[in-house]
A = this chain, B = another copy of it.
Amino acid sequence: MIGLKDVAQACGLSVTQVSRALNGKSDVSLATRERVERVAAQIGYVKNLTAQSLSSKQSNQLAVIIRGLDGKRESTSFVIDAIRGINAFARQNGYETVVHFIEEIPESYESYCRQRGVGGMMLFNVNFNDESFIRLQESSFPCVGIDMAMSGENKGCVIVNNANYTTLAMQQLIKRGRKKIALIAGDPGAFVTIERQSGYEMALRQAGMEPDPKLMGCGEFRLEDARSETLRLMKESPDIDGFFCMSDLMAIGTIDALNSLGYKLPEQVSIFGFDGLPLTDYIHPVLSTIKQDHIKKGYHAARLLTQIMRGEQDERTVVLPCELWLRESL
């Protein structure tokens, strides 16, 4: 492997000087800098990032840690979108992104990163009441939660106002005269599930209705589970006239179930989703949903993380807006 030493030799310079030249440091004359760059390129030198990060005790890598892809949630296009956003910011600002898809919860998120010379991380889909997560929350390791509130030293998060938008969506259903609106919930361990559930209940109470556990199913953010839960609910309460589904994917399951039971949509039953997947334009009835910008979410997460890592004090919680898409399924 061609190292700094080889370049130095070829230039008749010291390793120190070559390093400084290549890194744009000050103590080097223009002439030598150019010569070093030329020679380095010529003999095919590539910097060893491993050594660099060992020596400098830090890397330019932003870690994204994503959990829970094993079987549970099938559509994960928003994960990709968030990564795209993260990547966009990272590239513009001289960082690079490494994505770690993990299954087991690490003993410690912090040492997981430290082991790898990564100075900060973004967390996705982690279960907010697991042991390691709580420890992380109490540490001072730079970390940004996506779709999950985080606070504390060197912590930040990018979220949307789930409760609020859910309430707004529910109000639309109620405004259209829906009297018995069921809920298809997501993974009970997820932050967003809890928030959206409270938004659902809030809207009902505001309209003078009492939330009824008989009208709530758990779809685990999976299309198929949403389908079967919808069938179950409709069997128990055939007069349900509206569904709020915590994800578009689950809404597709609900629609499929209702179709198979012969309900006319949206005349007999209204459906509302959450996410704003591009796909929802193409299902019938065209889905009413709450559009989130996942790319922007990722972008802001990366921005926030780098600010935290550089110690810049700033807003630590970014709340992004969503759009209410009122369409055929309403």
Contact = CB atoms under 8 A, between A and B. Distances in A.
A114 B77 CA distance: 30
5 contacts: A54-B54, A69-B80, A77-B77, A80-B80, A252-B282
Given A50-B59, A98-B100, 15 more contacts: A46-B115, A48-B117, A49-B116, A50-B115, A70-B84, A74-B278, A76-B77, A79-B80, A87-B101, A91-B103, A97-B101, A224-B278, A252-B279, A279-B279, A283-B283
A6 to B, nearest CB: 14
Contacts of A83: 69, 101
Nearest to A224: B278
Contacts of A101: 83-84, 87, 97, 99
A1 interface: yes
B279 A47 contact: no
Contact of A99 (B1, B48, B70, B98): B98
A237 interface: no
A75 B279 contact: yes
Contact of A282 (B47, B49, B117, B223): B223
Nearest to A1: B114
A109 to B, nearest CB: 12
Contacts of A252: 279, 282
A284 B285 CA distance: 12
A20 to B, nearest CB: 19
Interface in A19-67: 46-51, 53-54, 59
Contacts of A111: 46
Nearest to A222: B278
Contacts of A114: 1, 46, 48
A145 interface: no
Interface in A85-108: 87, 91, 96-101, 103, 108
